[in-house]
Structure 1
Amino acid sequence: MIRVLVVDDEALVRAGLRMILEPADDIEVVAEASDGSEAVTAVARHRPDVVLMDVRMPGMDGLTALKELRRAPNPPRVIMLTTFDLDDYVHTALRSGAAGFLLKDTSPRDLAAAVRTVAEGSAMLTPRITKRLIDTFAGLESADVALARERLSVLTDREDDVVRAVARGLSNAEIGRELAMSEGTVKAHVSRALAKLGLSNRVQVALLVRDAGLT
């Protein structure tokens, strides 16, 4: 069962998210919070697997709460939700360790699928946000590209193959089939790459690979 915390300053939005998710047999909404501060407290109390959290809230906003949660031991996977697909929000959220970024007009089916996807350790972005990220990174200055490639140079050839596949959005099973290795071996390569690069999740790996111009 995937345990979910819903965080939004509007009670109607929280109720709507609960109504969307609770009919799923494998998802349980264990708590709600109305701002970032309440979210941090609720995570410590309820230990959810996934947090669905609004970006803009009074008091502690979602981006600040995300940074607080990422500093905790065994943090939950966090999907940021917003009605505004502004680049600054997206970049800050993903750099801070968000596992996903969805707009509030995401369909109920896609929302539940996103929760399952990030709970399994993968990332989930709204398609038009993904396109904009790729367009943005395509225009990076050469110095930024060189810096990103220098960071990636610590990886072995096999780890490099795996992180490039991660950046393409492939799951561990798909990477295993493509590179002729077991899913467990892929997972081990991903874990070692994260440790070497000082990153916390697959989204950050994908961003670094794109920074390097390698997708």
Structure 2
Amino acid sequence: MENEIKIDWTVPRENKNPKTKQPYKRGRNWTIVVYLDSAPSNWESIIKQEPVAISPLHDKDITEDGERKNPHYHVILSYKGNKSFEQIDEIARLLHAPIPQRVNSLTGAVRYLTHMDNPEKYQYESFDIRAYGGFDVDSALSLSTGDKRQMLREMIDFIKDNEIIHLVDFTNYCLSDNAPAGWFEILTERNTLFLKEYIKSNWQKYKSGEEMK
């Protein structure tokens, strides 16, 4: 098409988180989305030299409007030392990919490769994940005890800050795209009773406050 916009992939891009509009700090873990209709044919060979995990082909994802998304791969890079946005963007541009994003939870990112914690989305097969450069998928897939405790603290803070008084509302949030990766697993694994009682106490406190007015 004559009006098709051509991107110069040799030009470095601005370091800016699209959500916060702030620059990314250096980090060990990053993610890139690779689209089939723009990636070079040898894109996987380019990335193989890095410590990387590649998702199955996401060709059954659906938008909120019910339309099929462009087929793509989710790529996770995990290094022993911190890398800058500029270093990762250089790799992303070689793959003709959108700007990379820093990963806060490596476990959550790896689990998202197959939508493990998003039952409302199409479930891809874990055995289709490919790893290179010493990336240990099995280790990354397992939430450590410390990760679980930290995640539970964050869930409690969310319930308190948002004055959630019904378990169904919190469950629906955990199932949504807005919830951090892993929350649904933490809720349903062994903490449902505890969170239910915490929310119930939140409701009782809220009710008492209303009756005193």
Structure 1 or 2: more helix by fraction:
1
The structure showing larger relative contact order (alpha-carbon pairs under 8 Å, at least 6 residues apart) is 2
Asked which structure has the greater CA Rg, the reply is 2
Does TM, normalized by the shorter one, top 0.5? no
* TM-score (ref. length: structure 2): 0.31
